[in-house]
Amino acid sequence: MNSVSIAGVGLMGGSFALALRKAGFRGRITGVSSPAAIEAALARGVIDEALPLDEAAAGADWIYLARPIGGILASLDALDPHVKPGALITDAGSTKRAIVDRAAAAIHRARFVGGHPLAGKESSGVEHADANLFRGRPYVLTSRDAELEPWIERIGARLVFLSPEEHDRLVAVTSHLPQLISTALASVIGTEPDAAQVAGPAALDLTRLAASPYEIWSDIFSTNAEPIDTALAAFIAKLEELRAALHSPTMEQAFDQAAAAAKALRR
C-alpha cells in the first residue's frame, strides 16, 4: 500500500490518517472534503494533498469513506469508473447493511470491505483528530481482508467480524438505543424549569448524548429503522416491567440482573 485517499477528513477520517502514520504508513494520504476541513487537515499535516473524489480515487491503493452514511452511499455510486482495478474501498459508516448492499451493486473494479470503528469524541472536526482514537476500541469488519486487517490491528483497534445484518442489530441496542434514551430523558428533564438546580452527575452523564446533532443520526435512523424499532420496543417493555415493580420485591431482582449485565460490559 503506497497511497490512501480519505473521503471525509473530519474527526474519524482525520484520526484514521494520523493513526496510519503513527502505525508506520509512509505513503501519500490524499483528502477529499470541504475547503475548511481541507485547510485544517493540511495545516495539521493530517493529509499531504487535496483532490476531488474522482482524481483521489484514481491514484489510491486504498479509499477510506468517512463521510456520513448518505455521503458514503453517494460516493459508492460515483467511484467505480475511477478506481484502480483491485483497489481496496472501506468505510467507517455507523450502519452496514445499506452500505454493503450498495457497494455490491455499484463497485465492480475494486474490492469493498464494510467497516465501523466503535470510537469517537464529543467534539467533531479534523481539529480534534487523534492518532490514538481507535486504540483499544472495537473495529467491526463485515468481511475478511488480508491487507486491511493487519493495519487495523496496528492502529491499536480490536477486530470484530460481523455480518452487516448482525452488526446493525447489535448497534441498534448498544449505540442507537442509548442515543434515543438520552434524547427522551433530556426532553423530560427539560419540562421541569427548576431541574438544573438539582441535576447531578447521573443526569449529566445520561443526557450527554442528547447534545448530538440530528444530521448525524438522520441517516442512521433511515438505514436501520427496523432493528432500532425492535430495540425500542424491548426497552419500553422493560420500563413497563420496572414501573409495575415499583412497590414489589421483584425490583431488587431487576437491579441485581442489571448490575451483573453492567459489570459484564466493563470486563
Tell me the DSSP string of 115-168.
Answer: EEE----SS-SGGG--TTTTTTSEEEESS--TTHHHHHHHTT-EEEE--HHHHH
CB atoms within 10 A of CB 242: 14
pLDDT, residue 216, reads 87
- What is the DSSP code string of 196-216? GGG--HHHHHHTGGGGS-HHH
- Hey, what's the cell of 129? 483528530
pLDDT, residue 248, reads 94
Q: Are residues 147 and 176 in the same domain?
A: no
pLDDT, residue 121, reads 80
User: Which residue among 113, 128, 162 closes a domain?
Assistant: 162
233 SS3 class: helix
Per-residue pLDDT of the chain (267 residues; tens, 9 = 90+): 899 999 999 999 999 999 999 999 999 999 999 999 999 999 999 999 999 999 999 999 999 999 999 999 999 999 999 999 999 999 999 999 999 999 999 999 999 999 999 998 877 899 999 999 999 999 999 999 999 999 999 999 999 999 999 999 999 999 999 999 999 999 999 999 999 999 999 999 999 999 998 988 999 999 999 999 999 999 999 999 999 999 999 999 999 999 999 999 988
CATH code, domain with 85: 3.40.50.720
Q: Alpha-carbon distance 25 to 202, whole Å? A: 42
pLDDT, residue 3, reads 97
Q: Are residues 82 and 154 in the same domain?
A: yes
- Amino acid letter, residue 26: R
Domain count, the chain: 2
Q: Are residues 147 and 226 in the same domain?
A: no
Q: Are residues 14 and 84 in the same domain?
A: yes
pLDDT, residue 43, reads 96
54 SS3 class: helix
Structural domain range at position 254: 165-265
- Amino acid letter, residue 100: V
| Consecutive H or E run containing 113 | strand 111-113
Q: Are residues 93 and 52 in the same domain?
A: yes
pLDDT, residue 1, reads 85
Q: Alpha-carbon distance 230 to 197, whole Å? A: 36
CATH code, domain with 222: 1.10.3660.10
User: Which residue among 126, 141, 162 closes a domain?
Assistant: 162
- Amino acid letter, residue 168: D
Q: Are residues 51 and 158 in the same domain?
A: yes
Q: Are residues 51 and 177 in the same domain?
A: no
Q: Are 31 and 9 in contact (CB under 8 A)?
A: yes
Q: Are residues 141 and 178 in the same domain?
A: no
pLDDT, residue 124, reads 85
pLDDT, residue 122, reads 74
pLDDT, residue 11, reads 96
pLDDT, residue 163, reads 98
Q: Are residues 39 and 69 in the same domain?
A: yes
Q: Are residues 230 and 148 in the same domain?
A: no
User: Which residue among 162, 181, 210 closes a domain?
Assistant: 162
Write down the residue that cell numbers 451483573 correspond to. 260
Q: Are residues 155 and 197 in the same domain?
A: no
Provide the pairing of β-strand 62-65 with 88-91.
Answer: parallel
Q: Are residues 9 and 113 in the same domain?
A: yes
